[in-house]
Chain A
Amino acid sequence: MKQQIIVSGIGGQGVLFLTRVIAQVAVNRGLAVLTSETHGMAQRGGTVLSSIKVGDFASPLIRAGQADVGLLLWDANLGVHQPLLREDGTLVISSEQPGVGKRIAATKLARELGNAVLANLILLGLAVRDAVLFCSVEECEEAIRQLAPARFVEQNLAAFRCGLEG
């Protein structure tokens, strides 16, 4: 099993948390995993990009045209990060506008759940529903329980399930 995934957004959208959830699923299944994250000044509202490489890899970074899946929390990043995707790669995008890839109004739905930042797990739900990622529903729920602060676990799971329902 090998999969290369990018997670794109802007600082404050929970790109790092989403990255960790996916990587934790790999660890729980005993798969090798490498991620790369954006920290520091760019986290202050700027464009951030994470990469996740599951399987036998040595580097956490993804070459242009090699990502299997792109999860985009900020649709304006499409022009910046789409070149990382393979021609046959799958895009899953949080957006209220029509366009390329699988789309869901994740931020709007998250706001209805009480917090716009939950868009990250709604997007994950959609990706898992459509079997875009290597991970299963149960595996994602387990990882969310492991990583979310105790008082936010239920809210996070609700967001993930909201995405599963599309």
Chain B
Amino acid sequence: MEQQVELLMGNEAMACGLIESGCQVVAAYPGTPSTEILQAVADRRATAEEPLHIEWSVNEKVAFEVALAASYTGKRSAAIMKQVGLNVAADPFMRSAYLGVQGGFVTIVADDPGPHSSQNEQDTRLFCLQGRVPVFDPASPAEAKALLPLAFELSEKYEMLTVLRPATRICHSRQNVRLQLVQQLQRSANFKKDPNRWGATPAFLPALHRKLNDNLVAFAAEPAVQPRLTQGDGSHARLALVASGIVYGHLVDLLAELGLTDTVDLYQVVLPYPLNSAWIDTMRADYDRVMILEETYPVIEMQLAHGGAFGKQSGDIVKEGELTPDVVHEALARFLDLDAPAPAPANSRGQRPSLCPGCPHRSAFYSIKKTFPKGIFPSDIGCYTLGINLKAVDTVHCMGACISQGAGFYQSYAQDSGDDFPTVVVTIGDSTFFHSGIPALINAVIQKARIIVVILDNGTTAMTGGQPVPHLGRTATGAATRAIAIEPLVRASGVEFVACCDPYDSDALEAVLKKADSHIRDPQGGVAVVISRHGCLMDREVVKSQPRYAMEITPDCIGCRRCVDAFECPALSMDEATKVAVLDPDRCIGCGTCIPVCPVHAIKGTSEGELS
């Protein structure tokens, strides 16, 4: 039967690929650009032929380990994360390479060259080289889907962990993609105990390591994973182009636009690690010069070690940022001695992002900055990173780092000045707190740090589009589950000062922050936790449930810019002609949180009752 063609985002295409491959356990932690994969698995779960467990795990390490054990029972499973999520899952990942798997196991790790929405542009292919794990690099959404059944099959054949590495331009591209029949594997959970392998002590590891190395050689020689050659017509003899991932697509389109299709030997590498040594030998023997296009690090180029390489390691291609079609054009022109393209226009990013109008984080940040103008403000990963625009965020590092960094700031200042330390106010989102904030909080308490931790609790994982959090009592599929409340967790971590308030009530929040400051400075005090609780306004129910005011800026405005610069609501801007603040009615949601910000009370809100 002919299957349907759908317009699918790369992430949706991969979700279909997982279901079609008979995958039965899928675990993920949200992170751009990978998030929509698990969401789409949940949305399409009715198409699965067999039971399918889908979970938003509390972090990537947990997601990986859940999926790994499912593989031990012989079922197909997958873990999904963004590139920096693999750092969180690095510990189990590295050992899994040695111990291997039973049922097919694919880890989908989405990279973000650019980066567009990440704290770095690390290359998962290099991570896999270091971990000795085979990694696939798809060049389109359709190919990302098509590679999944292959990755599962080879994972089972060699009992090896495999990785699929889509980049942002795969995840967030849409394409016409043909669906396939869903496989029915009819597997029952059957964990075959083998402590020498699944609990391998050092004595068993050299043998497992040897088997891994042998498997890597055989895996690399599999016919289905060989670099795919589009033969040239000989007009560029002894030259070759090698590309992997989305850059291959850019190159194909560019060659077509320049009229160079089929004039030069072109290889698409679908498995950048491990490369087949026979192919490496051929490349060295058959070509004098080889252009290598890959994102982000020179992983193929390093393995190829070709004397005539034209790539990142050789210094011929820019090492940082995305290899956009314009970058590829410029490099290809130098490699093939073509006319140089006109210099690309300077890359302007346009309007900077900011917290949404009415965002409760904005109110919390404004109160924190106002209460502690000289405070130190470590923050974390999420929408609230944008508190940097309000100068209420000084550091952003990686998931959960803010609490430990806050403690480190305290220890360093306190040893110089004793009781006269600056107030350290840490801000962490609720999802990030569950992800990796809890061990850091326990550590801060037992090391007697004196810091204020503000948990920005908006009841969701907002940045990635609203995935459920552990205190919501909802699973990835919307089913009810036990809710884990934040307050008891905080108290059980040894925190004696725990207060909660709505940041829309700025007077109340500022009073609580002052009390928290007294607590951290009290001889009997320690860590203070303030929970700033107000739902995310991306949830329409939250917007509907709060009062909406008809807002106006009166002629009393003196043009001091405080509401525009220090509060930074996207609905407020300066009229450069009249030098007063103006309100954009299309963007204002009537929350009224800007009212107390104006020093001359020129921002007025008239109650319209509870409108939608």
Contacts and interface: CB of A to CB of B under 8 A. Distances in A.
B254 A63 contact: yes
Nearest to A47: B350
Interface of A: 10-12, 19-20, 23-24, 26-27, 31-47, 57-66, 74, 76-77, 79-81, 83, 107, 111, 116
A102 to B, nearest CB: 21
Given A61-B250, A63-B329, A46 B324 contact: no
Interface in B221-263: 246, 248-250, 252-254, 257
Contacts of B349: 46-47, 80
B174 A34 contact: yes
Q: Which 5 A-B pairs have the closest CB atoms?
A: A40-B117, A47-B350, A46-B353, A59-B249, A40-B32
B122 interface: no
A34 B329 contact: no
Given A61-B324, A116-B586, A41 B353 contact: yes
A13 to B, nearest CB: 9
Given A58-B252, A59-B246, A43 B169 contact: no
B174 A37 contact: yes
B253 A58 contact: yes
A74 B252 contact: no
A36 B172 contact: yes
Interface in B1-47: 5-7, 9, 32-33
Contacts of B463: 40-41
Interface string B117-144: 1000000000000000000000110000
Contacts of A65: 342
B512 interface: no
A34 B140 contact: yes
Interface string B398-420: 00000000000000000000000
Given A34-B175, A59-B325, A42 B116 contact: yes
A60 B325 CA distance: 10
Contact of A63 (B9, B169, B326, B585): B326
A64 to B, nearest CB: 5
Contacts of A38: 116, 172
29 contacts: A26-B176, A27-B5, A27-B6, A27-B7, A27-B176, A32-B176, A33-B175, A39-B116, A39-B172, A41-B32, A41-B353, A41-B385, A41-B463, A45-B354, A46-B352, A47-B350, A57-B249, A58-B248, A58-B249, A59-B169, A60-B169, A60-B174, A60-B249, A63-B257, A63-B326, A76-B350, A80-B349, A81-B350, A111-B585
Contacts of A57: 249, 253
Interface in B101-121: 116-117
